[in-house]
């Protein structure tokens, strides 16, 4: 993976949970502007890898982030009580950034300002996903970790969020690591792919190099990835 400055280097990473090996011997680097998809079957350790990189899980090996780098994290849509008395505006203000920055970020992610006074528990899945993404972007991160960004979003929302993530990586040089089950999303947007297959990396490289054979090995059946070209 090469272009731009290196922002993350992972060396001989091993992760254990309750003495069970979840990931072993993981090595890769991420550079500015890279759009890295982490794929693999259920239980392959995709979310574990992301959470380890964020420092949420203990590990052996090295995770070297560029010193002082600002990290953004958009977790999978969390389960909220419908009567949670926290408005979208109050949620964003938890980050401690200015109102101007909040307004600018909301515009970027396409979150309607009219929803700001709504309790976050009653937002639709798509709106909540955008809010989570907005929260991750508020502090202007240089590396963004996104867990299943489109898991609860409809087709049009999915397209909009994909375009937004692409724009962030291409125009603002943000390195993005995202976990996804959606191979079409991966094929359309990722510049690099990390395939996890029960503990180990089975593939790490540009998406063009990812063969159907590897996909079949990973997911156990024939995978169809639809090519999709956008008009300039």
Partner 1 sequence: MKIRQFISISIRNNYIPGMSIESINILVVGAAIASAAGIVGAFAVLKRMTLAGDVLSHVALPGIGIALLFNFSTFLGASVSLLMAAVLVWAIRNRTTLPEETIIGILFSLALAIGVIITASEELIDALFGDVNAVSFAEGVLVIGLSAVIIIVMLLLSKKIVLSTVSPELAKASGLRPDILELIFLLVFATVIALGVRFTGTLLMGALIIVPAAAAKNISRNLATYLTLSVFFAFISTVGGFLFSKYLGILPGPTAIFISTLLFAVSMPFRWR
Kindly state whether residue 41 participates in binding partner 1, applying the rule CB under 8 A: no
Considering CB under 8 A, how many residues would be counted as binding partner 1? 27
Window of 7-15, 88-96, 149-157, 201-209 that interacts with partner 1 by CB under 8 A: 88-96
Smallest gap from residue 75 Cβ to partner 1 (A): 5
* Strand arrangement of the beta sheet that strand 35-39 belongs to: 71-74, 143-147, 175-179, 35-39, 192-197, 200-206
Q: Which of 85, 222, 227, 230 binds partner 1 (CB under 8 A)?
A: 85
Q: Please enumerate in sequence order all residues whose Cβ is within 8 A of that of 9, keeping only pairs 6 or more positions apart, or say none.
A: 28, 29, 30, 62, 63, 64
Query: Which residues make beta-bridge pairs with 119?
Result: 87
Report the alpha-carbon distance of residue 76 to residue 146 in Å, rounded.
8
Contact region with partner 1 (CB under 8 A), list: 75-83, 157-165, 186-194, 198-206: 75-83
The contact pattern for partner 1, residues 173-212, with x = CB under 8 A and - = no contact, is: ----------------------------------------
59 touches partner 1 by CB under 8 A: no
* Between 55 and 205, CB nearer to partner 1: 55
- Cα of 146 vs its chain's centroid, Å: 2
Q: Is 67 in the site for partner 1 (CB under 8 A)?
A: no
Q: Can you read off the two tokens belonging to residue 226? A: 């639809």
Q: Which two tokens stand for residue 132?
A: 């989570």
Residues 127-166 within binding reach of partner 1 (CB under 8 A): 135, 145
Per CB under 8 A, the list member of 21, 63, 71, 97 interacting with partner 1 is 71
56 binds partner 1 (CB under 8 A): yes
Least distance to partner 1 from the beta carbon of 216, Å? 33
117 part of the interface to partner 1, by CB under 8 A? yes
Contact 187, 35 (CB under 8 A): no
Report the nearest approach of partner 1 to the CB of residue 73 (Å).
Answer: 4
Q: How far is the CB of 64 from partner 1 (least distance, A)?
A: 17
**Do 197 and 215 touch, CB atoms closer than 8 A?**
no
Alpha carbons 201 and 13: distance in angstroms, whole number: 11
Alpha-carbon dihedral sign for residues 98, 104, 106, 108? negative
CA atoms within 13 A on the CB side of 170: 9
In the complex, the residues that contact partner 1 under the rule CB under 8 A are 51, 54-56, 71, 73, 75, 78, 80, 83-87, 89-91, 93-96, 117-120, 135, 145
């Amino acid at each position: 993976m090469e272009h731009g400055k290196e922002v993350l280097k992972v060396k001989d990473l091993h992760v254990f949970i309750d003495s069970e090996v979840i990931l072993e011997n993981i090595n890769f680097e991420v550079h500015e502007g890279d759009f890295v998809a982490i794929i693999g079957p259920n239980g392959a350790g995709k979310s574990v890898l992301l959470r380890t990189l964020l420092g949420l899980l203990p590990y052996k090996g090295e995770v070297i982030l560029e010193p002082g780098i600002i990290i953004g994290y958009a977790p999978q849509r969390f389960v909220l009580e419908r009567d949670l008395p926290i408005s979208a505006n109050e949620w964003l203000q938890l980050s401690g950034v200015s109102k101007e920055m909040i307004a600018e970020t909301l515009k970027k992610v396409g979150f309607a300002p009219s929803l700001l006074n709504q309790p976050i528990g009653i937002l639709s899945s798509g709106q909540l996903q955008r809010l989570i993404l907005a929260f991750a972007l508020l502090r202007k991160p240089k590396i963004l970790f996104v867990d299943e960004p489109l898991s609860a979003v409809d087709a049009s929302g999915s397209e909009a969020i994909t375009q937004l993530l692409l724009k962030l990586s291409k125009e603002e040089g943000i390195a993005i690591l995202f976990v996804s089950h959606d191979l079409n999303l991966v094929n359309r947007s990722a510049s690099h792919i990390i395939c996890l297959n029960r503990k180990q990396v089975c593939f790490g490289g540009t998406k063009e190099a990812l063969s159907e054979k590897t996909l079949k090995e990973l997911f156990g059946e024939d995978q169809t990835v639809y090519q999709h070209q956008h008009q300039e």
